[in-house]
Amino acid sequence: MARVAGVDIPDNKRAEVALCRIYGVGPTLALRVLQRAGVEGNPRVKELSETQLARIREVVESSYKVEGDLRRETTSNVRRLIDIGTYRGLRHRRGLPVRGQRTKTNARTKRGARRTVAGRRRASAKK
């Protein structure tokens, strides 16, 4: 397995797809990295030469913020919002959607599984 930005990327996948294993590198950025490194076509990682891998490593590490640095920056941004007490920080602290989505219905991923509240149905039936 080749190692780029501290991550083992799979040998049997195409270079474009394999680079997406790195945190902070998506499909578009993977293509851009391969172009800047001068890799023609879309070969599998095992077909890349050592010089091509070295150029890919250099492009990723010098030009883009990935893996640990990016994770650290993201968490510090969220921590800053929480510390200064913004509305977004409050939503992060409570584990609720931050970007204005509705929560009366949906938001199951953030709020967790449904919990039944005892006596709920009977109370609404009286009205």
| pLDDT, mean over the chain | 88
Say if 45 falls within a structural domain.
Answer: yes
DSSP calls for 98-118 = SSS---SS--HHHH-S--PPT
Task: Find the length of the chain.
Answer: 127
Helix and strand element counts for the chain (H, E): 7, 2
Beta-bridged to residue 2, according to DSSP, are 9
Number of domain units in the chain: 2
Say if 116 falls within a structural domain.
Answer: no
Q: Which structural domain, as residue segments, surrounds residue 107?
A: 68-111
Tell me the pLDDT tens digit for each residue of 4-14. 888 888 888 99
Tell me the pLDDT tens digit for each residue of 57-73. 999 888 888 888 899 99
Q: Is 33 found in the same domain as 8?
A: yes
Q: Is 95 found in the same domain as 47?
A: no
